[in-house]
C-alpha cells in the first residue's frame, strides 16, 4: 500500500541521536504521517531523530491491520538506526490519540509474542478471522527491550466508552460498528489484563508514560 511509508526528520548535527518514533492520531479514519510535522521539527532542532510511520486507515484496513502497519514501521526503524545515526539505546515510541491506542496494542502484542511465542496470534480467533491478518503479518525481528520507553498521549485504551462519544460527535453507529466490531478485543487495557504473567513481566520491563488532559472532551 502507498500508506506503507514513513517520514524521516534527520538532525543537522552528528549522531548518534536520540530517536522518537511518532505515530499520529486521526480516529483511525484520517491518520497521516504528516500530522506530527510541527512536533517533529521542534524535536529535530534539538538533535532528535524523528521517524513518523504511516498506516492504513479505515476502511482500507481494520484496526488489527493498522496495528501490523505500526509494528512494521517500528521494525524498519530499529533495523535502520545505524545508517540513520540513531542511538539504539535511546529509542522512544510515542503515539497520540488513535496513534497512542495503536502503540499500546503493538506493545501489548509484542509482550505476548516475546513471552508466549508466535502461537499467541495463531490461537487468537478474533485476529485470524480478520481479513487484514496473515500468518506472517506481524514482524518478529524486534523486541521490546530495544525501546528505552514508550509514551501514549491522549489515547483511548478502553474503546467501549468511546463508542458513544464518537456517535455524539457525528459518526454513524453503522460505521462505528464496522470500525470497532469488538471493543473488548480491540482495547489495550483489556488485552493487557489478559496477558500471561510472563508477558506482563516483559511489558513491565519498559517504562511507560500515559499523558491525558483533564479537559479532553474528544477522548474523555
- Residues with catalytic roles: 97, 216
End-to-end, the C-alpha distance of the chain in Å comes to 33
Contacts of 108 (CB under 8 A, 6+ apart): 188, 191, 192, 195, 203
Q: What share of residues in the chain are helix, strand, coil (percent, to 5)?
A: 40, 15, 45
Cβ proximity of 141 and 87 under 8 Å: no
Contacts of 54 (CB under 8 A, 6+ apart): 3, 4, 5, 6, 7, 31, 32, 33, 69, 73
Residue carrying C-alpha cell 481479513? 131
Cβ proximity of 91 and 174 under 8 Å: no
Contacts of 70 (CB under 8 A, 6+ apart): 23, 53, 55, 95, 99, 102, 103, 106
Amino acid at each position: 500500500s502507498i500508506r506503507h511509508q514513513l517520514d524521516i526528520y534527520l538532525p543537522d548535527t552528528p549522531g548518534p541521536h536520540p530517536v522518537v518514533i511518532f505515530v499520529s492520531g486521526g480516529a483511525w479514519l484520517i491518520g497521516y504521517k504528516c500530522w506530527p510535522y510541527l512536533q517533529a521539527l521542534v524535536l529535530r532542532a534539538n538533535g532528535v531523530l524523528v521517524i513518523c510511520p504511516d498506516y492504513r486507515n479505515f476502511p482500507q484496513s481494520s484496526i488489527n491491520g493498522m496495528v501490523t502497519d505500526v509494528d512494521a514501521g517500528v521494525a524498519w526503524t530499529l533495523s535502520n538506526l545505524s545508517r540513520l545515526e540513531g542511538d539504539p539505546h535511546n529509542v522512544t515510541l510515542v503515539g497520540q490519540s488513535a496513534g497512542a491506542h495503536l502503540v499500546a496494542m503493538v506493545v501489548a502484542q509484542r509482550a505476548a509474542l516475546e513471552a508466549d511465542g508466535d502461537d499467541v496470534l495463531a490461537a487468537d480467533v478474533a485476529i485470524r478471522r480478520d481479513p487484514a491478518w496473515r500468518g506472517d503479518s506481524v514482524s518478529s525481528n524486534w523486541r521490546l527491550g530495544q525501546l528505552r520507553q514508550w509514551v501514549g498521549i491522549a489515547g483511548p485504551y478502553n474503546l467501549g466508552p468511546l463508542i458513544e462519544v464518537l456517535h455524539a460527535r457525528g459518526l454513524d453507529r453503522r460505521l462505528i460498528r464496522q470500525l470497532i466490531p469488538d471493543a473488548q478485543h480491540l482495547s489495550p487495557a483489556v488485552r493487557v489484563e489478559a496477558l500471561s504473567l510472563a508477558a506482563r513481566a516483559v511489558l513491565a520491563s519498559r517504562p511507560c508514560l500515559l499523558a491525558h488532559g483533564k479537559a479532553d472532551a474528544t477522548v474523555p
